[in-house]
Structure formats: C-alpha cells, structure tokens
Amino acid sequence: MRLKEFNPTALDPKGLGPDERMEWEVLSTICRDSSAREKSAFYSRSRNTKRKNREILRYRHWACGWVEVLIEERKVS
C-alpha cells in the first residue's frame, strides 16, 4: 500500500505525511496498542532505516495515542 492510500483507522483521512513521500510504500505500522509481537516485527524491519530510501513517520493519534509508520521508496514499475 502506498502512503497516499494509508489511514490509521477508517475515521482518519488518507495520505497523512510529507507530500514528497506519498508514493512511498508502507512496510509496517505500530501503535500504542500493538502487541509485543507486532512491535518486535516492526522494529526488526526498521533496523535498516539508515538506508536512504527508508524512514519512520511518527504521529500522535486521537484514538490510540501514537502511530509509527515504516515507509520505503520503491520504484514504480
């Protein structure tokens, strides 16, 4: 899913994030209410954030306190 299509819940607008990254791929997400297993998987995938084409976006959220979104730039084929 592209960042422009992502919304944390059905009540949130789609496409939250920097305009220049709307075409980036959402790799994983977590929030305050995520399980230990989900958080472990997220942080395991995020270890490569030093790569130029991957980063974590962090947001406050009205329902779950906070949301983190791991995104990666991918070539559109």
CB 31 within 8 A of CB 65: yes
Average pLDDT on 58-73 reads 90
Closest alpha carbon to 7 in 74, 46, 59, 75: 59
Tell me what pLDDT residue 71 has.
93
Tell me what pLDDT residue 42 has.
94
pLDDT confidence band for 65 (50 / 70 / 90): confident
Q: Over the chain, what is the mean pLDDT?
A: 88
Q: Where are the domains of the chain?
A: 3-72
- The model carries a pTM of 0.83
37-60: pLDDT as tens digits: 999 999 988 886 566 688 899 998
Question: Token digits for 22?
Answer: 């709307």
Average pLDDT on 20-49 reads 90
